[in-house]
Structures are given as structure tokens and as C-alpha cells.
């Protein structure tokens, strides 16, 4: 039950309209070694708009299409695909990508300049690299961008606007169980949910991933940036405003938290940076204001360094809760943290 079915052939499909039915609008499988195009078409109230699979020798360009009221807008399985300038409205997931053979063919999907409105998930990818950049996602009910189980690939989630619908359960960017990847989550604008950026279940070994979280604006989340069990993450130059907890490090070691602006609400019981059972981290040149606790250490081991931070308009600057963080500075060299207006 398909509108168009293409197998073992080159295909350029333009200006089609697929409406109403438990069908796949376009199904393409094992097409030939060239670039194929799906463009300027409308997909409405079908099961899946476009389903690609086992296109191992070619690439697809899917651009300027409209997808609405269905389960998956684009379902790409083991397929190189570039997805640009499409609109996705009221779907379970706008783009779903997964690699069925990750150890044989390490694919990367490109998702650029698309508009997502009112869907449960914007983009989620399994076992594949991803460049998700310059997209607008409004009223996301669950997860804006999710990257899962990726091995040995690059992941870029940059320059996106993500506005979550449910402040209690939704996530802006979710990265789970990835290994040996270069991961960049930079220059995004994230608004309103439970987690702004969530990193969890990452391999607990030095150098397994290189993760940069830089220059993001993250507002009105329960947790702005939450990292669990990972080493050597760079969290730099983010603006975190009105989040219950700005940055969380739970487990892991050797991360750098540098030059972040973390601003709360004077009347709320907020935490700027929350550190639990994590060691050998550097917290430098952060500006933290309007919190109950600026930095809170819990059961934390030695060698955490606080250097040149500013804590202002808060109840507590640095709190040690069953934690030993080590000596800060020396008798001849101060760490130059500043407490203002506490």
C-alpha cells in the first residue's frame, strides 16, 4: 500500500500530492548510485510520508515538501539523506533515521532549515551520525532532537530554535548511549521543558566522546544542561536563565565549565551549578546570580577547582554537602572568586 514505489532505480519525484489513507506516500528501496530527489510535494493524513531503506550506494535530497497529520514524515533506514526546507506539522516524529548496519556503513543524515510544528518528536536518530542545524521546532511535546546509540560518527546539533510544549516532561536535545563520537551542541535557542540538553548513559572512559556544549541560550527548564557519567565535556559560554538548576554534573570527571552566565529568580530556590560524585572538574569565569545556591557540591571527590567566578545576589555562594573539593588557591596565589551582593 504505497503511493509510489521505487526499487533499484534512479528516481526524481516532484510535485505530488498524497492525502488520506493508511499508506506510505513514497517508498524507495535500494536505489542506484546517484542523487535522487523528492521535492515540492504534499503528504497529509497518511501513515508515513517518505520511507527510504537500504539506499547504501546513493543519497537522497528531500526538500520543499509539506508533511502533516501522520506517524512519520520521513523514515530513513540505512540511507544517506539530505532533508532541507520542509515543513512538518502534527506528527509523531518529523524525521526518524536509523542505521540497520552501523558497523558496516556509518551513515550521516543532514537536516537543515526545516520547520516543525506541534509534533511529539522533531528529529531522532539511531546508530547514525547527524547534522541537525538551522531548524525551527515549535510546540515539541516530547523531544526536539534525539541522538541514540551512535558509534564512531559526528553529531552536530547547532543553530536550532526549540520550544517545548510540556514543561514537565519534554526535552530540547537528548543524547543517549553514544560512543567514540565528536558531538557539538552549539548556538541553539532552547525554551521551556524538563531538560534543555540531556547527556546520559555515555561510556565512562576518558576520550570516548568529545562533547562541546557552547553558546546556547537555555531558558525555563527544570535542568538547563544535565550530564550523567561522562568525562571531558566542554560547557562554555552558555546563557542559562530561569532554570531550576542551570548545570548538573553527575559522575564523570575532567569537565570544563567556563564563562557561562547563569541567572535565576531572586524569590525561587534555584541552583546555578550542581555537582554530585564528580571530580577533577574546572569551574572558571562563570557569572551566577539570583540563586539560592550558586554552586552546590554533593558527595564530591577531590580536585574540583573554582577559579575567577562571580557569585551575586544569592543566599549561598559555594555549598559543600558531604563533599571535599580540595584546596582552592595557595597562600601566594588566590583563585579570585568574587561574592557580590549576597
**Quick one: pLDDT at residue 301?**
65
Is it the case that residue 195 has pLDDT exceeding 80? yes
Percent of the chain with pLDDT over 90: 63
What average pLDDT score do residues 323-332 get?
86
**Quick one: pLDDT at residue 206?**
45
**Quick one: pLDDT at residue 78?**
80
CA 52 to chain centre: 24
Is it the case that residue 235 has pLDDT exceeding 80? yes
Best CA proximity match to 96, nearest among 118, 66, 70, 134? 70
- In which residue are the cell numbers 535557542 written? 189
Q: What is the mean pLDDT of the chain?
A: 89
What average pLDDT score do residues 58-77 get?
92
**Quick one: pLDDT at residue 12?**
86
Q: Please tell me which of 192-196, 300-304, 328-332 the model is most confident about, judged by mean pLDDT.
A: 192-196
**Quick one: pLDDT at residue 32?**
57
Best CA proximity match to 155, nearest among 187, 127, 114, 121? 127
Task: Using pLDDT thresholds of 50, 70 and 90, give the confidence band for residue 94.
Answer: very high
What is the C-alpha to C-alpha distance for residues 201 and 269, in angstroms, rounded to an integer? 28
**Quick one: pLDDT at residue 89?**
97
What average pLDDT score do residues 274-279 get?
94
pLDDT digits (tens, 9 = 90+) for 135-194: 999 999 999 999 888 776 788 999 999 999 888 889 999 998 887 678 899 999 999 999
**Quick one: pLDDT at residue 187?**
98
Establish how many alpha carbons lie within 13 A of residue 217's alpha carbon, considering only the half-sphere containing its beta carbon: 7
Amino acid at each position: 500500500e504505497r503511493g509510489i514505489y521505487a526499487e533499484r532505480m534512479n528516481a526524481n519525484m516532484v510535485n505530488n500530492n498524497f492525502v488520506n489513507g493508511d499508506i506510505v506516500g513514497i517508498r524507495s528501496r535500494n536505489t542506484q548510485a546517484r542523487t535522487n530527489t523528492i521535492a515540492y510535494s504534499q503528504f497529509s493524513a497518511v501513515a508515513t510520508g517518505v520511507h527510504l531503506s537500504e539506499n547504501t550506494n546513493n543519497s537522497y535530497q528531500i526538500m520543499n515538501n509539506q508533511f502533516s497529520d501522520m506517524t512519520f514524515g520521513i523514515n530513513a533506514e540505512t540511507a544517506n539523506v539530505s532533508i532541507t526546507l520542509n515543513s512538518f506539522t502534527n506528527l509523531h516524529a518529523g524525521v526518524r533515521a536509523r542505521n540497520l548496519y552501523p558497523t558496516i556503513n556509518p551513515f550521516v543524515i543532514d537536516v537543515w532549515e526545516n520547520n516543525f510544528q506541534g509534533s511529539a518528536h522533531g528529529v531522532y536518530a539511531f546508530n547514525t551520525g547527524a547534522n541537525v542545524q538551522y531548524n525551527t521546532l515549535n510546540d515539541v511535546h516530547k523531544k526536539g532532537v534525539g541522538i541514540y546509540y551512535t558509534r564512531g560518527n559526528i553529531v552536530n546539533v547547532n543553530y536550532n530554535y526549540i520550544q517545548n510544549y510540556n514543561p514537565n516532561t519534554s526535552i530540547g536535545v537528548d543524547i543517549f548511549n553514544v560512543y567514540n563520537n565528536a558531538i557539538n551542541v552549539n548556538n541553539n535557542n532552547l525554551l521551556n521543558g524538563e531538560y534543555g540538553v540531556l547527556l546520559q548513559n555515555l561510556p565512562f572512559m576518558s576520550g570516548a566522546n568529545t562533547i562541546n556544549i557552547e553558546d546556547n541560550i537555555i531558558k525555563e527548564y527544570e535542568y538547563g544542561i544535565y550530564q550523567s557519567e561522562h568525562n571531558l565535556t566542554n560547557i562554555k559560554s552558555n546563557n542559562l536563565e530561569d532554570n531550576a538548576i542551570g548545570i548538573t554534573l553527575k559522575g564523570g570527571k575532567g569537565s570544563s565549565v567556563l564563562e557561562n552566565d547563569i541567572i535565576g529568580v531572586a524569590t525561587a530556590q534555584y541552583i546555578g551549578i550542581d555537582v554530585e560524585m564528580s571530580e577533577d572538574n574546572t569551574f572558571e569565569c562563570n557569572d551566577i546570580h539570583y540563586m539560592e545556591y550558586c554552586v552546590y557540591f554533593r558527595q564530591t571527590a577531590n580536585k574540583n577547582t573554582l577559579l575567577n567566578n562571580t557569585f551575586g545576589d544569592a543566599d549561598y555562594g559555594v555549598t559543600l554537602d558531604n563533599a571535599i573539593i580540595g584546596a582552592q588557591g595557595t597562600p601566594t596565589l588566590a583563585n579570585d572568586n568574587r561574592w557580590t551582593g549576597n
